[in-house]
Amino acid sequence: MRIGTLKETYAADEALFDTRTQKAWLAVLILALGLFPFVAGEYWLYIACLVAIHVISTTGLNILTGFTGLVSLGQAAFMGVGAYTVAVLEARLGTPTLVNLLAAGFVTAGVGALVGLPSLRVKGLYLAMATIAASFILHFVFANWTSVTQGVSGINVAPARIFGFEMARPAQLYWLVVPIMLVSVLAAANLFRTRIGRAFIAIRDRDISAEVLGIPLLRYKLMSFALSSFYAGLAGGLWAYFFRVVTPESFPFVYSIFFLAAVIVGGMGTILGGILGAVFMTMVPEVLKLAVGLLSPVLPDAVAILSPVRTIVFGGLIVGFLIFEPHGLAEIWRRTRRFFHLWPFKT
């Protein structure tokens, strides 16, 4: 059992990682992430990269939806913008990988701010509709602006390259994706210790009150959109390097629902929630695939029902979590932790 931690200074109270136990566990986690590529096989590294990309995008959506209270159904389309930016830069100019990724982030942030413009007049559900509209319009642009995006045939992307070191396979790409994920998650966690982050939270809790307190709503809402889209663009850029081909069909509307589901399942408004949600939602289809593999001797057409079952499970998870556990996996995690803290006493 561990009793409450005593804090004597404001600095200690505001620190991101406050207890020694927390820091120790974090060190273990970093070490595990560093050792993972040496023990895991190709398949697991593939999953790890995919999870890391999803974590970045989900964290971005969490900034917008979980912390600022603006629902967006355009996250996948924003990722598409990032992916296309990287693909076009790589194919036309051949600029360095890191420059491409940053460009993807900034271009997407611009597009995101543009999509956020209706928040000038509308909010809540109306804004969600605007993001749906934006995602279909972006899809149209991907498919029909052939001179840049090459239409439905898509663009092939050269492998990522850092200081002459080529990263074509997941085992190599791991060293690019995971550090970027760590930095962006850390940045997001730190954001909510600053004035801007606090302003986001104030807007979520009651936007009129926030405005009365002197927070310029439009500027902060647009900032939230831009930040969230920056994350999406970064994730999209990594996605392009990961799958090496970008087509308009790579970023369907259901992919946006996937990210929204990840935020809800993980827990809206907590950084940990974004991470847990992305990991969980990426693993669910893999587990389903495994289950189908096991079932295939008994059920010959098991493979055919994989995709619909996945759709049902996604929808079911959204509904189930919203009804029974609105604070998501992060809350379950907190309860479990509390149980061990207070053991052998009851919570």
Which chain residues interact with another protein by CB under 8 A?
69, 71, 73, 117-118, 120-122, 124-126, 128-130, 132-134, 136-137, 140, 143-144, 206, 208-209, 212, 254, 257, 260-261, 264, 305, 307-319, 322-323, 326
Q: Which is nearer to another protein, 179 or 216 (CB)?
A: 216
Pairing, β 165-167 against β 160-162 = antiparallel
In the complex with another protein, the residue whose CB is nearer, 52 or 138, is 138
Q: Which is nearer to another protein, 44 or 145 (CB)?
A: 145
Count of beta carbons in the 10 Å neighbourhood of residue 321: 21
From the CB of 34, what's the least distance to another protein, in Å? 37
State in angstroms the smallest separation of the CB of 316 from another protein. Answer: 6
Identify the H or E element spanning 80. Answer: helix 75-88
Nearer to another protein, 30 or 120 (CB): 120
Considering the complex, what minimum distance in angstroms separates the CB of residue 142 from another protein? 12
User: Are 104 and 233 a contacting pair, CB within 8 Å?
Assistant: yes
User: Among residues 57 and 256, whose Cβ is nearest to another protein?
Assistant: 256
3-state secondary structure 86-135: HHHHHHHHCCCHHHHHHHHHHHHHHHHHHHHHHHHCCCCHHHHHHHHHHH
CB of 171 to another protein, least distance (A): 34
Instruction: Name the one residue in this structure whose structure tokens are 């697991």.
Output: 44
**Min separation Cβ 212 and another protein, Å:** 8
Distance in angstroms (rounded) separating the CA atoms of residues 64 and 113 = 12
Which of 105/328 has CB closer to another protein?
328
- Backbone torsion region of residue 106, taken as left when φ is above 0, otherwise alpha when ψ lies between -120 and 50, otherwise beta: alpha
φ/ψ bin of 251: left (φ > 0), alpha (ψ from -120 to 50), beta (otherwise): beta
- Least gap, CB of 254 to another protein (angstroms): 8
